[in-house]
Amino acid sequence: MNRFWWSNNKTSKGIQWSCWNALCKAKNLGGLGFKKLYLFNKALLAKQVWRIITQPRCLLARILKARYFPMTDILSAKTGSYPSFTWRSICSARDLIVDGLLWWIGTGECVNIWNDPWLPGKDNNKISGHEIVPDFISVKQLINGDTKTWNRELIDNLVDEYTADRILAIPLTAHRTEDTLVWKYEGTRVYTVKSGYRVLTTSNVLPNSTSASLSITSEATEGWQKDFYTSLWPLHVPEKIKIHIWRLFNNLVPHYGNLKRRKLVMNPVCPLCRDAIEDSNHLMWSCGVLKSVWIQLHVQVPTFEASWSGQKCFATIFSAADENVRCVLAISLWSLWYRRNKLIHEGVRFNLIEVLSFIQGYVKEIQLCQDPFRQQDRPLLNALWRPPEEGRLKFNFDASYSSDTKIAITAVIVRDLRGNLKGAETYLFDNVADPFVAEARACERALILALDMDSRRVVVEGDSLSVIKSIKKREKDRSILRPITQNICQLETRFDEISYLHVRRSANGVAHQLAKEGRRLGIFGRWEVGVPESVKQIALQEALEMSQD
C-alpha cells in the first residue's frame, strides 16, 4: 500500500518518503487518515459479533449457534475443533466487543452487581475494591419496586460514595424494560465500524502481539501543529494542493536538501533564489522569491522569534488567517513548487510576473466556483423564535448542567400565538449523568407542565438535536436517554396533538436564560407571572422581532 501511494507510475516504485503507519495517523495528528487494513478488518468482523448479540434470530446467528455454541452465548463460546474460517475470524474479534459492552439497566434482573459491567462511563464499568455481599446479587435488588427508583440508602451501605453517585446517575423508567447490552464507545450505544476502529487504534484491545505493533502510537503533536492541520484540511482548494502543503510541512518532498542527504545531488542551493540551501524551512518561509510573491499579493508577514522553524512560522500565520488568505498562501507554495520543477526538468524560464498572474487567476477561479454554492446555502432556518399555530401553546425547554456537581437545572417557557408568556418552570435534578440527560429531563418536564396546565395541543421545542431525534425515533433505543424517552412516549398518549421541533440556540433564548437564572438565583418552581426580569426582557424582544418579521 505504501509503495502504491508513493509510486510515480505502474512500473516505478518511487521514493517512499514516509512509512505506512505515519500515513495512517489521523489528519489532525499529521497523517492522511488511511485505514490500517488489519485493524479495519477486525472492526468489520466485530460488527458480525454485535449482530449475533443484538439479532439472535437472524439466520447467521441461528446457524452459528446450532453449530458452535448451542448451550451458551457468543461471548462464552469456544473456537472448538475444526472451526470454519468464518467462525474462527468472528471469534478473533470478540475481544473488541467485550471491551466495549455495557449493561443498560431496565429491570436489573439479568445483571450481576459484582461481576457484570454496568456502571456508566468508558472505564471501570465493574464494581471493584468492595467486599462482595452474597445477599445482594442482582441489580434488581437495588431498585425500589414501588417507586421504580434507586434505593439510595441500600446503595450507600454497599459501595463507596463515588460508586454510589455513578449508580444513582443511571436513569430508570417506571415501565418494565428488559436489561440491554449496549456499546459504550458510541453515543447511540450501538456498535459501528467507525467507533470500533477508533478503539483499536487508540488502545491495545486485541490480546495478541500483532495489535500492539499495528496500533497507532500517540506521538505528541504540539498545539500549533494541530491548529495548522485543522485549518488546512477544510480549505476550499483542490486536494492536490492540500496534499502538497502537507508533504512540504512534513518534509516529504524531493527538494535538494532531501536529495543531498540521499546523495542524489551535489549542490543543494535553492534554484529560485540561489541564496540558501533548499529545504522545507526555506520553501515554506525564508525563500526570497516566496517573500516577494507574498508582498505583491499583499499578504501581511509578521516577524517571529529567530529560534522558530520555517514550518512553525508558516503554520502560525496560516492558522490565524481567514479563508481567502489561506487559499493565497497554499496556492502560492504549490505554484512556486510547480514553476521550480518546470525550471529544473524542462528548462522553462522563471518569471515572477507570470507566477503572480497565475496565482491571482487561480484564486479568483476558486472563489467563482465557491460563490454559487455559498449563495445557494440554506438560510438560517429556525434562527428566531416562531409562534405556534392558533389553538396551540409552544413549550420551549432547555437545561443548565454542571459536570462537577452532576446537578441539572431544567427550564420550560410557555407562550401563545402572540408570544405572550403563559407559564414557566424551573426544576432541579441531581445525579445527572451528562448534558444530554439534562436536556431530555427538560423535555420531559415540558410535557408534565403541559398536562398540569390542561393543554392537549402543544408544540415542544428545544435546541438539543440529539434529544429531539431520540424522541422522534420509534424503534428500540439503546442510548442513555432510553428510560426518559420511554416516559415521554408514555406521556404523549395523553395529548390530542403534539409535535417536536429542533431550533437553534438563538431561537431558544428565553428558556436558556431561565435555566441560567434558575442556577444563579437558586429559584425552582412554577410561575404564571413574576418570572425573572432578564427572562421577561428576552421574551419581549423575541415577540417584537416576531411582529416585525
- The CATH number linked to 441 is 3.30.420.10
Residue 269 β-bridge partners: 277
Please tell me the predicted confidence (pLDDT) of residue 210: 41
Domain count, the chain: 4
| Residue 170, in any domain of the structure | yes
Residues 328 and 230 grouped into a single domain:
yes
Please tell me the predicted confidence (pLDDT) of residue 211: 39
Q: Please list, in sequence order, all residues whose beta carbon lies within 8 angstroms of the beta carbon of residue 185, skipping any fewer than 6 positions away.
A: 100, 122, 195, 196, 198, 199
As to burial, measured by CB atoms within 10 angstroms (0-12 exposed, 13-18 middle, 19+ buried), residue 162 is exposed
Q: Indicate the SS3 state at residue 148.
A: coil
| Residue 56, in any domain of the structure | no
Please tell me the predicted confidence (pLDDT) of residue 374: 54
Residue 240 φ/ψ, nearest 5 degrees: -60, -30
Please tell me the predicted confidence (pLDDT) of residue 481: 86
Q: Please list, in sequence order, all residues whose beta carbon lies within 8 angstroms of the beta carbon of residue 392, skipping any fewer than 6 positions away.
A: 417, 457, 458, 459, 497
| Residue 62, in any domain of the structure | no
Residues 237 and 319 grouped into a single domain:
yes
Please tell me the predicted confidence (pLDDT) of residue 11: 67
Query: Which residue type does 26 have?
Result: A
Q: How many angstroms separate the CA atoms of 545 and 154, rounded?
A: 54
Are the C-beta atoms of residues 431 and 406 closer than 8 Å to each other?
A: yes
Please tell me the predicted confidence (pLDDT) of residue 187: 84
Residues 399 and 332 grouped into a single domain:
no
| Residue 55, in any domain of the structure | no
Residues 537 and 446 grouped into a single domain:
yes
- Domain range enclosing 19: 2-36
Q: Can you spell out the DSSP letters for 353-421? A: HHHHHHHHHHHHHHHHHHHHHHHTSPP-TT-S--PPPTT-EEEEEEEEEETTTTEEEEEEEEE-TT--E
b/e sequence 276-305, b meaning 16+ C-beta within 10 Å? eebbbbbbbbbbebbeebbeebeeeeeeee
Q: How far is CA 509 from the centre of its chain?
A: 25
Q: Can you spell out the DSSP letters for 67-102? A: HH-TTS-TTT----SS--HHHHHHHHTHHHHHHHEE
Residues 536 and 452 grouped into a single domain:
yes
| Residue 194, in any domain of the structure | no
Nine-digit cell string for 474: 420509534
Residues 274 and 337 grouped into a single domain:
yes
Asked which of 143, 178, 213 is the last residue of a domain, the reply is 178
Residues 492 and 354 grouped into a single domain:
no
Please tell me the predicted confidence (pLDDT) of residue 44: 97
Please tell me the predicted confidence (pLDDT) of residue 217: 35
Residue 527 φ/ψ, nearest 5 degrees: -135, 145
Residues 397 and 543 grouped into a single domain:
yes
Please tell me the predicted confidence (pLDDT) of residue 491: 93
Residues 371 and 401 grouped into a single domain:
no
Please tell me the predicted confidence (pLDDT) of residue 212: 37
| Residue 208, in any domain of the structure | no
Residues 504 and 435 grouped into a single domain:
yes
Residues 123 and 160 grouped into a single domain:
yes
Please tell me the predicted confidence (pLDDT) of residue 214: 33
| Residue 50, in any domain of the structure | no
Please tell me the predicted confidence (pLDDT) of residue 215: 33
Residues 348 and 468 grouped into a single domain:
no
Are the C-beta atoms of residues 271 and 343 closer than 8 Å to each other?
A: yes
Q: How many angstroms separate the CA atoms of 278 and 265, rounded?
A: 12
| Residue 448, in any domain of the structure | yes
Residues of the chain predicted below pLDDT 70 = 10-11, 204-221, 371-382, 474-476, 549
